[in-house]
Amino acid sequence: MSEWQQAWTAETGVRTAQELFRRAFGAEPDGVWASPGRVNLIGEHTDYNGGLCLPIALPHRTYVAASARSDGRVRMTTDIGTEPVWEGTLAELAPRKVSGWVAYCGGPAWALTGAGVAVPGFDLAVASCVPLGAGLSSSAAVECAVGLALAQLAGHRLDAGDADRARLAALCVRAENEVAGAPTGGMDQAASLRAQAGHALLLDCRDGSVEQVRFDLDAAGLALLVIDTRASHSLADGQYGARRAACERGAARLGVTTLREVTDLNAALAALDDDEVRRRVRHVVTEIGRVTDFVAASEAGDWATAGRLMDASHDSLRDDYEVSCVELDVVVAAARGAGALGARMTGGGFGGSAIALVRPEKMETVAHAVRVAASVRGLPTPEIHLAIPSDPGACLIEP
Ligand code: ADP
Ligand code: MG
């Protein structure tokens, strides 16, 4: 039998964050807020091209225990760092003044303040069961949970409706881009704040609009394995920016604002003289088409086609976009070989996680095959999670 990695229950998450808070600050927090990690079903590296993507929120969430302070000072602690507590002022939580986990945890304070929200000083403790750096968006889970907490400490509920959540998501994107310095595109924060249980979030990155697409794995007789290869994706930093820049060069050459505006792929490819840019453009444009096709296939219950689209997405990311790596290719091939309907890398790439869509009776076989394949190649043993479109997602939990 497989050991499936489990998400914390809300109770465990709240207790862990509260205990961390008590140990660090010797007091009870005003409240505990949570926001989830995500996996993207399909539509990779499309968000910063104004394209479509289709993430689901995971049951794995980040929990933030926080209290307001009246002296404008800030103290933050987290379960991941070796540094015990960071202490400073609100003014220090700004681009180029902080880095590492402090930038991810403190960035939302800067973004909210910039948007006119009167964020007070605060004490804050972060505890998370979202695997770190596994392509499951621990970064957005932190930003969104902190964003919810600080907005509420400032007297704003930014989780009431989708319009508020969209606004907060945009602020968390600013925090990640400008304070943490990661040039990511916005899918992660939208998934963390706007995805609903039993649904995938069809996000149109051209205008930020969303559609809830029913994705009920149980009802469909399916399971989704999330395979964390445990290959670090730290190499992604420069590479991610390089992919973005290639897309921008392609769009400029084609005279469009974003690659979303490309309507005739063959004409576009013929107009591009740089082979690298041509392949990047081909990935983005075909991937956006695969999102639409995946939604149609899933709505028709045609999971064989949905699986083939996942396979095609992986192949395009590997060959045209060149963001896969041996660890991802090995587990994807093993999952397919063991009977998955489809499998692909998910997230930015260069390590991190893959997903496999499987019939429940094949779960054990696929998981076993994935572990054996990694071991034969001398790669780290993957950790395998079961994805369930998460309920209740991002919210205030306590009090
Ligand atoms: P991921 O795929 O997990 O989002 P990223 O590289 O985008 O990977 O973000 C990981 C970074 O987010 C960490 O290096 C850390 O700075 C921050 N982070 C994630 N989880 C936590 C946490 N529990 N506490 C503090 N910072 C965190
Ligand atoms: Mg991230």
One-letter identity of residue 321: Y
User: Which residue has its alpha carbon closest to ligand 1 atom 2?
Assistant: 135
Ordered by start, the domain boundaries in the chain are 10-214+392-398, 217-387
Kindly report the pTM of this predicted structure: 0.94
Q: Is 371 in a helix, a strand, or coil?
A: helix
Per-residue pLDDT, 122: 98
Q: How many angstroms separate the alpha carbon of residue 298 from the centre of ligand 1?
A: 31
Ligand 1 pocket, 135 CB below 6 A? yes
Which of 139, 346, 350 maximizes ligand 1 atoms within 8 Å of its Cβ, making it the mutation to test the pocket?
A: 139
pLDDT tens-place string over residues 160-182: 889 999 999 999 999 999 999 99
Ligand closest to Cα of 77 equals: 1
Mean pLDDT of the chain: 94
Ligand 1 pocket, 139 CB below 6 A? yes
Considering 47, 123, 188, 228, which one is annotated as catalytic? 188
Backbone φ and ψ of 31, nearest 5°: -170, 175
CATH class of the region 10-214+392-398: alpha beta
Spatial neighbors of 367 by CB under 8 A, at least 6 apart, are 2, 225, 384
Closest CA to 339 of 380, 311, 313: 311
- Detail the DSSP E strand segments found in 205-256: 209-214, 223-228
Q: Can you tell me which atom of ligand 1 is nearest the CA of 352?
A: 2
Closest CA to 342 of 42, 1, 136, 6: 42
- The per-residue pLDDT string of the chain (399 residues; one tens digit each, 9 = 90 and over) reads 556 778 999 999 999 999 999 999 999 999 999 999 999 999 999 999 999 999 999 999 999 999 999 999 999 999 986 668 999 999 999 999 999 999 999 999 999 999 999 999 999 999 999 998 888 999 999 999 999 999 999 998 877 889 999 999 999 999 999 999 998 889 999 999 999 989 999 999 999 999 999 999 999 999 999 999 998 765 456 898 899 999 999 999 999 999 999 999 999 999 999 999 999 999 999 999 999 999 999 999 999 999 999 999 999 999 999 999 999 999 999 999 999 999 999 998 999 999 999 999 999 999 999 999 999 999 999 999 988 766 667 788 877
CA–chain centroid gap for 254, Å, is 30
Per-residue pLDDT, 397: 82
CATH class of the region 217-387: alpha beta
Per-residue pLDDT, 238: 86
Do residues 272 and 247 touch, judged by C-beta distance below 8 A? Answer: no
User: Which residue has its alpha carbon closest to ligand 1 atom 12?
Assistant: 139
Percent with pLDDT over 70 in the chain: 96
Ligand 1 pocket, 101 CB below 6 A? yes
Q: How many angstroms separate the alpha carbon of residue 101 from the centre of ligand 1?
A: 7
Ligand 1 pocket, 180 CB below 6 A? no
In the sheet with 353-358, reading across from the earlier edge strand, the strands are 342-346, 353-358, 223-228, 383-387
Per-residue pLDDT, 237: 66
Q: Can you tell me which atom of ligand 1 is nearest the CA of 128?
A: 23
Residue 376: in which H helix or E strand, if any? helix 363-376
Ligand 1 pocket, 133 CB below 6 A? yes
Q: Can you tell me which atom of ligand 1 is nearest the CA of 347?
A: 2
Q: Are strands 52-53 and 31-40 parallel, antiparallel or unpaired?
A: unpaired
Give alpha helix (H) positions in 76-233: 100-114, 138-153, 162-174, 187-194, 217-220
Which of 76, 101, 144, 237 maximizes ligand 1 atoms within 8 Å of its Cβ, making it the mutation to test the pocket?
A: 101
Do residues 162 and 63 touch, judged by C-beta distance below 8 A? Answer: no
Ligand 1 pocket, 77 CB below 6 A? no
Per-residue pLDDT, 84: 83
In the residue annotation, 228 being an active-site residue is answered as no
What does the alpha-carbon distance between residue 57 and residue 181 come to, in Å, rounded to a whole number?
24
Closest CA to 390 of 37, 65, 62: 37
Ligand 1 pocket, 80 CB below 6 A? yes
Per-residue pLDDT, 398: 73
Q: Are strands 383-387 and 223-228 parallel, antiparallel or unpaired?
A: antiparallel
Per-residue pLDDT, 159: 78
Q: Can you tell me which atom of ligand 1 is nearest the CA of 62?
A: 23
Distances (CA, A) of 22 to 26, 89, 149, 387: 5, 21, 17, 32
Ligand closest to Cα of 141 equals: 1
